[in-house]
Amino acid sequence: MTLKIVIAPQSFKGNISALEAARAIERGVLTAEPDAQTVLAPVADGGDGTLDALIEGTGGQYIRSIVTGPLGQPVEATWGVMGDGRTAVIEMAQASGLAMLPPRRRNPRITTTRGTGEIIKEALDKGFDPIIVGLGGSATNDGGAAMAAALGARFLDSKGRPLPDGGAALARLDRIDVSRLDPRLAETTFVAATDVNNPLCGPTGASAIYGPQKGASAEVVAELDAALLNFGNLILRDLAKDVSSQPGAGAAGGMGAGLMAFAGAQIQPGIDMVCDVLGFDTHLDGASLVITGEGGADRSTIFNKAPVGVARRALAKGVPTILLAGTLGQGHEELYDHGIAGIVCIADRPMNFDQSLRRTGELLEAAAHRAMRLIGVGRGMGG
């Protein structure tokens, strides 16, 4: 009986794309099982790689735009339109991303989502509808205020003066004026794709959970949290929208809240959105095995990150899933309770992080080969 194997990794951040990872895994599978039928189905969960998965997976086109970067500097950002010619895909990390800034320049008090708003405006100008916004990898903590400002919203202090961009300025916010907000926002369907469900504020909110990795000290975290609380309260007062406690409002420094408030966006788990768009479940028909992959597997993976989302769908159709991981962190064993049947660490010897980055494709290929050889032994014993 021919094995049908669905290969569905996400990108290995900062190294190889999901498609490149899938091709490496396929090479390893076919050296061990030359007669296997392989289906490449690279995925993403709203963070890095979402743009590539949706554009390449549907035969779409990339678009490049010069927009405002996270510190106000001009940057070239890549986004695109899916193969249907209608659906825009924006990865906010391309315009407002953490990876765009060296650690010493990361400052969530002043970083801005304005560039993401400028891309949204261009997508509206081109007539795209719906618009998907991936919320992973942001450098910002401004609640999407600068994104909305790029689309016509005004954020005013107690003297009626426009606030500067950045999360810290929201502490001085006194009034939100949406009289000039682009009316096309209300006529367009927005999907905000994320792999987190944090509220806007509080101990599990945007500032507390993600502020430190963006350069915030404990004091700055408290300052930014208070600023976002003020922002959420004024959204409720001036826009009559209660978004602060909504799951996903705290994604990307509060960008989830901003997209809900100003664009009427629906928050969706990124992996489910990607799988639905790509018709992932149809690939599972007749499949014997799914192989997924990610750079680091730990307890955080269980919170609807790509491998668990893939495994959940596979399990519903009775198909087991193996995870190939670059590293195994604390709590990775919990993945066995979330649909992952087996975990293989791709490292084949002690190595530092830089060495593993250079060898990711090679390591994935070899790990896939090892996994298939082990499965072959099991099949032989079962026969």
How many whole angstroms separate alpha carbon 206 and alpha carbon 228? 9
The model's confidence at residue 383, banded by pLDDT at 50, 70 and 90, is very low
The model's confidence at residue 382, banded by pLDDT at 50, 70 and 90, is very low
Residue 355 confidence (pLDDT): 62
Is beta strand 37-40 parallel, antiparallel or unpaired with respect to 190-194?
A: unpaired
Structure tokens at 367: 């790990």
Closest to 123 (Cα-Cα) out of 160, 168, 81:
81
Residue 14 confidence (pLDDT): 65
Residue type, 170: L
Number of H helices, E strands in the chain: 14, 13
- Please state whether 3 falls in left (phi above 0), alpha (psi between -120 and 50) or beta: beta
CA Rg value for the chain: 22
What spatial distance separates the first Cα and last Cα of the chain, rounded to whole Å?
A: 12
Separation in Å, CA 255 to CA 11, 75, 232, 268:
23, 20, 12, 13
Residue 347 confidence (pLDDT): 85
Kindly report, residue by residue over 249-303, the tens digit of the pLDDT.
999 999 999 999 999 999 999 999 999 999 999 999 999 999 999 988 888 788 7
How many whole angstroms separate alpha carbon 245 and alpha carbon 288? 41
What average pLDDT does range 210-237 have in this prediction? Answer: 97
User: Quick check: 381 pLDDT over 50?
Assistant: no
- Whether residue 203 is preceded by a cis peptide bond, meaning omega within 30 degrees of 0, is no
Percentage with pLDDT > 70 across the chain: 96
pTM for this one?
A: 0.88
Residue type, 102: P
The model's confidence at residue 346, banded by pLDDT at 50, 70 and 90, is very high
Domains of the chain: 4-42+284-382 (3.40.50.10350), 50-271 (3.90.1510.10)
Structure tokens at 299: 């307890």
Residue 263: partners with Cβ closer than 8 Å, 6 or more residues away: 120, 185, 188, 190
User: Quick check: 108 pLDDT over 90?
Assistant: yes
Separation in Å, CA 172 to CA 77, 112, 149, 158, 239:
30, 16, 16, 8, 18
Structure tokens at 92: 């906010």
What is the full DSSP assignment across 183-223?
THHHHS-EEEEES----SSSTTSHHHHHTGGGT--HHHHHH
How many whole angstroms separate alpha carbon 347 and alpha carbon 90? 33
What is the full DSSP assignment across 81-150?
E-TTSS-EEEETHHHHBGGGS-GGG--TTT---HHHHHHHHHHHHTT--SEEEE--SB---STTHHHHHT
Closest to 290 (Cα-Cα) out of 268, 316, 272:
316
Query: Do 216 and 207 form a contact (C-beta atoms < 8 A)?
Result: yes
Measured in degrees and rounded to the nearest 5, phi and psi for residue 358 equal -65, -25
User: Quick check: 354 pLDDT over 90?
Assistant: no
The model's confidence at residue 16, banded by pLDDT at 50, 70 and 90, is confident
